[in-house]
């Protein structure tokens, strides 16, 4: 265990892994995660001593993020709403070296997973995490999971209000909530405060969107019953406007109705989307509102509490008058840099700053994977260039949210050297992909090698850029962890008599509204998947008008031309 | 049988009554009956002197017995499997919406590692599952002291408790 000591900078700061710009734990927040580690250590010891059955321990370890996968136990660590610090990232590097095989995998839910652990070491690992205010509480199991949010929260120009304080308030309310620790199925909440929904909220069990009502007050639009998997559904609005002070009482009412009425006889019909779907949204809403009326006045969320949490997310003291000359010069003289700048950075609400998207889609690694060395490098770069904070994103990349324009060239060089600057953000090669058959016990088919085939096929950057924004998502089974149903191009791995096949859907999307993709036709053999993607791309190139995106062309011409091309020779 | 009542291991003083029992031959004792038995023999049962307990199944709506709650010194809620968490909301409803002050007992697959959650929502009596050691289970209550949310044990969320 001592072979990889923590970097000395981290030991100095071991008192706290947190920084201005993120929620800072007080003694109670810290005490809770420390107590949870001690409790889990005891549970694990009782299991190893044979006092807890496999089944009983399974539920307890799931509540702490530990699955048993194909090769070894996997641990999913919570990154609340995707925001974490350099110290925390260094700790993740330390964990991957000490307990795992020197890498980790970022998920679509902004968390990170480690795949090669030993059960008996997990309590020590969790204690290490708690030393930097991190935990794995409720990252799996039939309970309220990590609340996800917009990776550009607080820096996006299209934002009405920063959603993260509300995410943190929800994190605290949902953490070890006694009534909702044994729900019919997992429960996911997402919050967004921007015009563009970068958190795909409508595929969550509860989607909260900050909106303004006719009197100018900001509150939440509440939608319920989204989810992917076997029965993909888009969340439906149950309350167009909810005052902030009622946030927690409303959540509590929804959860109480679901806990009592959700199906428990069939795990594939146990999500709240099935309850809402079978009752109808009106009947469901009526039940929720009745319950809510009874509890709302006793559960007021005080403005003082909102303000207390908000204070931790206050904007940084941004520099003014940053000289644009250097950036302009580098852009003119270095086309590779210019290309990266164009594709891997986006607008910041403050002039002189940009948001940098750190690509975890290198053709040399599985989508979302990051090595221990890259973890340390990104932690140090965030420290140097972005106030010591990082964000993980829905599309399995990282973000440095607050980079000065004048630092971009130096940052790019450092990222490029670490293979973290693949200039394909938002393109077809920036695909979302689950771990698939290679790691996951649930998977029917592999996804990582197929992803690599596709990325190789589209490695010509000019060709890739010409295709523009295409959202490709690939899951290794029906559970749909990579959200294939809402990909512009969705690919689902299935197993037919021991052979891996791939079903395509086209036209899914998730922006301000969301829509599920339509099935292209019969499943495709593994060897033909990359070919099929290419044929689909060709149809788009031939048929598109002016600046039309792939998905817009699809909705104009329909699925038939794609079907015709893909299946013509079969 | 031993049960945990208000965090003490004690002998169970209640006797469960079969639905087939003859209403005229009930023991002179504290008895627990089903909702069906109650609905069938409400009148004779209310005439008895001894305390009454009632068992609800997870699918029963506690509102069904709301008007009769004063008749019951005990409500037993069932955990057919520890994963089936409906009884948590049933217990919470009893305390929160009906201000039920009697005993609420957890029965079925009741395990040490869920006791703290159960106690928080309003259970104060626990029939520990046969295969677990009740002397060990009783250590399960205080492992986590920090409680963010209000529930049946704390009427205010943590932040309000701190600022009061």
CB-CB contact of A79 with A164 (8 Å)? no
| Cβ–Cβ below 8 Å for B92 and A308 | no
Q: Is the pLDDT of residue A114 over 90?
A: yes
Query: Please, where are the H alpha helices in A141-207?
Result: 164-174
CA distance linking residue A502 with residue A524, whole number of Å: 5
For residue A249, the chain B residues in CB contact (below 8 A) are none
Phi and psi angles of residue A79, each rounded to the nearest 5 degrees, phi first: -120, 95
Q: How many angstroms separate the CA of residue B53 from the nearest CA in chain A?
A: 22
Average pLDDT, chain B: 96
Point out the residue among B92, B145, B159 whose CB comes nearest to the CB of A35. B145
Q: Tell me which residue of A529, A524, A521, A355 sits closest to A431, measured CA to CA.
A: A529
CB-CB contact of B32 with B55 (8 Å)? yes
For residue A302, the chain B residues in CB contact (below 8 A) are 159-160
Both tokens assigned to A205: 């069990």
Provide mean pLDDT across the span B36-59: 95
Q: Which residue shows structure tokens 């990222």?
A: A415
Judge whether B89 is closer than 8 Å to chain A, CB to CB. yes
CA distance linking residue A409 with residue A421, whole number of Å: 12
CB-CB contact of B56 with B62 (8 Å)? yes
| Cβ–Cβ below 8 Å for B151 and A173 | no
| Cβ–Cβ below 8 Å for B148 and A264 | no
Average pLDDT, chain A: 93
Judge whether B98 is closer than 8 Å to chain A, CB to CB. no
Both tokens assigned to B65: 């017995």
For residue A294, the chain B residues in CB contact (below 8 A) are 96-97
Both tokens assigned to A420: 């973290």
Judge whether B149 is closer than 8 Å to chain A, CB to CB. yes
A interface with B, Cβ–Cβ < 8 A, is 28-29, 31-32, 35-36, 38-39, 42-43, 51-52, 56, 59-60, 142, 172-173, 175-183, 248, 256, 259-260, 264, 294-295, 298-299, 302, 304-305, 308
Both tokens assigned to A404: 């000065």
Looking at residue A388, its pLDDT comes to 97
Q: How many angstroms separate the CA of residue B49 from the nearest CA in chain A?
A: 34
Burial A152-179 (b: 16+ CB within 10 A, else e): bbbbbeebebbbbbbbbbbbbbbbbbbb
What CA dihedral angle connects A224, A228, A234 and A237, to 10 degrees? Answer: 10
Q: Is the pLDDT of residue B162 over 60?
A: yes
Looking at residue A1, its pLDDT comes to 36
Judge whether B142 is closer than 8 Å to chain A, CB to CB. no
Residue in chain A nearest B98 by alpha carbon: A294
Looking at residue A287, its pLDDT comes to 98
What percent of chain B is predicted at pLDDT more than 90? Answer: 95
Q: How many angstroms separate the CA of residue B101 from the nearest CA in chain A?
A: 19
Q: How far is CA B64 from CA B60, B68, B100, in A?
A: 8, 8, 14
CA distance linking residue B62 with residue B69, whole number of Å: 10
Q: How many angstroms separate the CA of residue B129 from the nearest CA in chain A?
A: 12
What percent of chain A is predicted at pLDDT more than 90? Answer: 83
CA distance linking residue A388 with residue A390, whole number of Å: 7
CB-CB contact of A227 with A236 (8 Å)? no
Q: Which residue shows structure tokens 């750190």?
A: A358
> In the structure, what pLDDT confidence band is assigned to residue A441 with cuts at 50, 70 and 90?
confident
Give the DSSP letter of residue B19: T
Looking at residue A6, its pLDDT comes to 40
| C-alpha gyration radius of chain B | 16
* Long-range pairs of A4-11 with CB within 8 A, sequence gap ≥ 24: A4/A94, A4/A97, A4/A98, A6/A90, A6/A91, A6/A94, A7/A90, A7/A376, A9/A90, A10/A87, A10/A90, A10/A91, A10/A94
CB-CB contact of A343 with A423 (8 Å)? yes
Q: Is the pLDDT of residue A570 over 70?
A: no
Q: Is the pLDDT of residue A7 over 50?
A: no
Residue in chain A nearest B83 by alpha carbon: A182
Looking at residue A481, its pLDDT comes to 85
For residue A298, the chain B residues in CB contact (below 8 A) are 150, 155
Count CB pairs under 8 A between chains A and B.
96
Q: Tell me which residue of A184, A144, A170, A171 sits closest to A273, measured CA to CA.
A: A184
Looking at residue A4, its pLDDT comes to 43
Both tokens assigned to A389: 């904070």
Looking at residue A13, its pLDDT comes to 37
CA distance linking residue A270 with residue A52, whole number of Å: 26
SS3 state of residue A330: helix
Q: Is the pLDDT of residue A205 over 90?
A: yes
Give Dmax over CA atoms of chain B in angstroms.
Answer: 57
Judge whether B56 is closer than 8 Å to chain A, CB to CB. no
Q: pLDDT tens-digit profile of A12-57?
A: 334 578 899 999 999 999 999 999 999 999 999 999 999 898 889 9
For residue A172, the chain B residues in CB contact (below 8 A) are 148, 158
Q: Tell me which residue of A132, A8, A2 sits closest to A380, measured CA to CA.
A: A8
Provide mean pLDDT across the span B54-62: 97
A356: β partners: A345, A400
Q: pLDDT tens-digit profile of A291-304?
A: 999 999 999 999 99
CA distance linking residue A267 with residue A273, whole number of Å: 12
Both tokens assigned to A390: 């990082």
pTM of the model as a whole? 0.94
Point out the residue among B82, B113, B159 whose CB comes nearest to the CB of A305. B159
The H-or-E segment that residue A451 falls in is helix A448-457
Looking at residue A291, its pLDDT comes to 98
SS3 state of residue B5: strand
Terminal alpha carbon distance of chain A: 56
Looking at residue A2, its pLDDT comes to 39
Point out the residue among B84, B90, B149 whose CB comes nearest to the CB of A182. B84
Looking at residue A569, its pLDDT comes to 66
Point out the residue among A183, A294, A299 whose CB comes nearest to the CB of B97. A294
Phi and psi angles of residue A489, each rounded to the nearest 5 degrees, phi first: -120, 120
Point out the residue among A28, A56, A178 whose CB comes nearest to the CB of B121. A178
């Amino acid at each position: 265990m001592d072979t990889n000591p923590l970097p000395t900078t981290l030991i100095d700061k071991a008192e706290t892994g947190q920084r201005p710009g993120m929620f800072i734990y007080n003694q109670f927040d810290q005490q809770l995660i420390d107590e949870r580690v001690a409790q889990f250590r005891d549970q694990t010891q009782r299991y190893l001593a044979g006092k807890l059955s496999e089944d009983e321990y399974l539920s307890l370890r799931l509540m702490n993020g530990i699955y048993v996968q194909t090769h070894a136990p996997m641990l999913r660590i919570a990154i609340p709403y995707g925001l974490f610090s350099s110290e925390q990232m260094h700790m993740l590097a330390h964990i991957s070296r000490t307990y795992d095989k020197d890498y980790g995998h970022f998920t679509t839910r902004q968390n990170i997973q480690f795949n090669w652990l030993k059960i008996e070491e997990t309590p020590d690992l969790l204690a290490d995490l708690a030393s930097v205010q991190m935990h794995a509480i409720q990252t799996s199991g039939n309970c309220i999971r990590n609340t996800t949010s917009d990776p550009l929260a607080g820096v996006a120009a299209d934002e009405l209000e920063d959603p993260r304080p509300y995410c943190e308030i929800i994190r605290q309310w949902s953490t070890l909530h006694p009534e909702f620790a044994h729900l019919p199925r997992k429960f996911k909440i997402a919050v967004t405060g921007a015009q563009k929904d970068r958190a795909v909220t409508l595929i969550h069990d509860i989607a909260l969107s900050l909106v303004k009502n006719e009197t100018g007050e900001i509150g939440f639009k509440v939608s319920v019953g989204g989810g992917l998997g076997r029965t993909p559904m888009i969340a439906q609005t149950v309350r167009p406007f909810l005052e902030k002070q009622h946030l927690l009482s409303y959540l509590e009412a929804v959860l109480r109705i679901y806990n009592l009425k959700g199906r428990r006889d069939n795990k594939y019909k146990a999500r709240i989307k099935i309850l809402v779907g079978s009752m109808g949204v009106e009947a469901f809403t009526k039940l929720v509102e009745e319950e809510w009326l009874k509890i709302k006045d006793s559960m007021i969320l005080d403005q003082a509490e909102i303000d207390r949490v908000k204070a931790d997310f206050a904007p940084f003291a941004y520099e003014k008058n940053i000289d644009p000359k250097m950036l302009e010069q580098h852009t003119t003289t270095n086309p590779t840099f210019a290309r990266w700048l164009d594709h891997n950075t986006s607008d910041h609400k403050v002039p002189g700053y940009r948001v940098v998207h750190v690509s975890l889609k290198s053709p040399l690694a599985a989508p979302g994977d990051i090595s221990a060395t890259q973890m340390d490098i990104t932690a140090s770069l965030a420290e140097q260039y972005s106030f010591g904070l990082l964000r993980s994103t829905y599309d399995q990349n990282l973000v440095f949210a607050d980079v000065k324009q004048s630092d971009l060239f130096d940052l790019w060089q450092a990222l490029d050297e670490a293979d973290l600057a693949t200039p394909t953000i938002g393109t077809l090669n920036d695909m979302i992909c689950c771990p698939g058959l290679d790691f996951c016990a649930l998977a029917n088919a592999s996804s990582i090698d197929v992803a690599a085939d596709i990325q190789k096929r589209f490695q010509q950057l000019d060709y890739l850029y010409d295709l523009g924004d295409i959202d490709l998502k690939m899951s290794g089974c029906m559970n749909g962890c990579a959200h294939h149903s809402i990909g512009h191009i969705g690919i689902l791995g299935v197993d037919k008599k021991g052979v891996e096949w791939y079903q395509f859907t086209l036209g899914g999307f998730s922006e301000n509204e969301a829509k599920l993709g339509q099935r292209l036709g019969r499943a495709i053999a593994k060897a033909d998947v990359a070919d099929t993607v290419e044929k689909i791309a060709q149809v788009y190139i031939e048929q598109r008008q002016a600046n039309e995106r792939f998905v817009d062309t699809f909705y104009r011409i329909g699925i038939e031309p794609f079907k015709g091309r893909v299946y013509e020779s079969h | 049988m031993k049960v945990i009542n208000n965090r003490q291991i004690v002998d169970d003083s209640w006797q469960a009554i079969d639905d087939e029992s003859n209403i005229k031959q009930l023991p002179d004792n504290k008895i627990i009956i089903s909702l069906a038995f109650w609905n069938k023999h409400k009148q004779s049962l209310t005439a008895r002197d001894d305390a009454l307990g009632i068992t609800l199944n997870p699918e029963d709506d506690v509102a069904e017995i709301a008007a009769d709650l004063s008749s019951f010194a005990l409500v037993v809620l069932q955990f057919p499997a520890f994963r089936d968490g409906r009884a948590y909301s049933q217990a919470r409803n009893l305390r929160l919406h009906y201000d039920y002050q009697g005993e609420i007992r957890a029965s079925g697959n009741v395990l040490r590692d869920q006791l703290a959650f159960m106690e928080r929502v309003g259970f104060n009596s626990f029939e520990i599952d046969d295969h677990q050691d009740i002397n060990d289970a009783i250590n399960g209550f205080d492992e986590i002291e920090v409680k963010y949310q209000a529930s049946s044990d704390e009427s205010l969320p943590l932040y309000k408790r701190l600022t009061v």
